[in-house]
Amino acid sequence: MACASTSIIKTEESSLPTLHNAEKVLAINEWRLLGRLSVRNMRQSWFTTLEWNHRKGIDDLTLSTSLGGVVAKILYSKQGILLTDEEGVLQHVSEEELASLLGYSAPLKHMKYWVRGVLSPEFQGPSSREYLDDTVLFEQGGWNVQLERFQTYGEVVLPARVTLIKEDLKIKLVVDKWWMEK
């Protein structure tokens, strides 16, 4: 992002997030991350780089090869999902169609919370968090979420590694860089 109001913010590794951290994280309306994404099920595994831009209720994800070739672009909002494939073809797809095209079902509407280390407000009812050494574990919507390698970025503590497991599907995101609205 070449915008003057954003900057790379990264400081030393930190302890686990405090209770007030979720409020601070949710107060940030615009953020961006660069990372590496791996997806594995019983039959196949995929590895891609991920650029994720979140702004004003819109999540813009670009999945690329290690050489920079774009595999897919996903624009997700309350209005729906737009998918641009590797050939540049843009199409409006449902969550089921996206799962069929990707080969797995990604919990997009919840991941924007989980990657930042907070519970998704989309789920009603209590959700308990377990703390094991430097790891936070919780379950929402049948997904086991594991957050690790916490670091301080500005005034918030965010995970640098997020693992999601549901049945035979394992999605792992390693965040290399965060940018946040100042």
Residue 7 counted as domain residue = no
Residue 162 counted as domain residue = yes
Angle at 101 between CA 45 and CA 103, to 5 degrees: 25
Residue 9 counted as domain residue = no
CA distances from 156 to 32, 150, 153, 162, 178 (A): 14, 10, 5, 16, 11
CB atoms within 10 A of CB 157: 21
Distance CA 5, CA 75 (A): 23
Mean pLDDT of the 162-177 span: 95
Residue 134 counted as domain residue = yes
Residue 10 counted as domain residue = no
CATH number at residue 140: 2.50.20.10
| Total of domains in the chain | 1
Residue 5 counted as domain residue = no
Do β-strands 30-40 and 6-8 pair in parallel, antiparallel, or remain unpaired?
Answer: unpaired
> How confident is the model over 111-157, as pLDDT tens digits?
999 999 999 988 776 566 777 778 899 999 899 999 999 998 888 99
For residue 82, what are the domain limits?
Answer: 19-120+129-176
Residue 1 counted as domain residue = no
Give the pLDDT score at 113.
93
Average pLDDT, whole number, for the chain?
A: 85
The answer to whether residues 62 and 70 touch, using CB atoms and an 8 Å cutoff, is yes
- What does pTM read for this prediction? 0.84
CB atoms within 10 A of CB 165: 16
